[in-house]
Amino acid sequence: MLKIHFAPHSRAGRIVWLLEELGLEYAVNRMDFHPKDLKSEEHRERHPLGRVPVLEDGDVSLFESGAIVEYVMARHGDGGLKPAVSAIEFPEYLQWFHYCEGMMMPPMNTVVVHTRILPPERRDEVVLGQAQRLLSKAVVPVNAALEGRDYLIGNFSAADIMLGHSLYMANKLGQVSDEMVNVKNYVERIAARPAFETAINL
């Protein structure tokens, strides 16, 4: 059976969300989002940097959320949640799928580090401000793409699992301005999906 190594409020939520959307059975190793679990020798054997998510599938052990999403869809997804290579939506699907870790998450990581993870005396307002500006800019094209659409490429896809999860988190962190109306509505739409609710409340 598939096994997901998980910590709450992390990218591991993407994988649980995906597994729920696909109706797959899975087991969860729920760890605390804390060095005592993530940096343990046991977990470092699964992920050299002591991070989540990690997926196990028989002899396969895999990290990187985007790679895990692709892997699960390819080996267990039965063609769901991804447009065909020949479909008109396919290039856009790839673009938003990768925009998540490529453009949204780098500034978001910095925002999280300088608002929550570092002790107050080590937080840097200049670095934080720079990351917040970058993150705000990264949201603008997504807001434009969502004009007249419920999901990023029209129908719900794995690109929404990647980027939608990040936008939900960015919104929770207060980093999505009220002007980004399409993104605000999108985040609500995503949060109402039963599979997402299961993942976010795990």
- Using rule CB under 6 A, residue 52 touches ligand GSH: yes
Q: How far is the CB of 64 from ligand GSH (least distance, A)?
A: 5
Q: CA quadruple 128, 130, 133, 134: dihedral positive or negative?
A: negative
Selected from 65, 110, 132, 143, the binder of ligand GSH by CB under 6 A is 65
Q: How far is the CB of 161 from ligand GSH (least distance, A)?
A: 12
- Using rule CB under 6 A, residue 51 touches ligand GSH: yes
Question: Quick one: 106 or 144, whose CB is closer to ligand GSH?
Answer: 106
Q: How far is the CB of 34 from ligand GSH (least distance, A)?
A: 9
Contact 11, 165 (CB under 8 A): yes
Q: How far is the CB of 92 from ligand GSH (least distance, A)?
A: 21
Stretch that binds ligand GSH, among 48-56, 124-132, 135-143, 176-184 (CB under 6 A): 48-56
User: How many residues line the site for ligand GSH (CB under 6 A)?
Assistant: 11
Question: Quick one: 36 or 125, whose CB is closer to ligand GSH?
Answer: 36
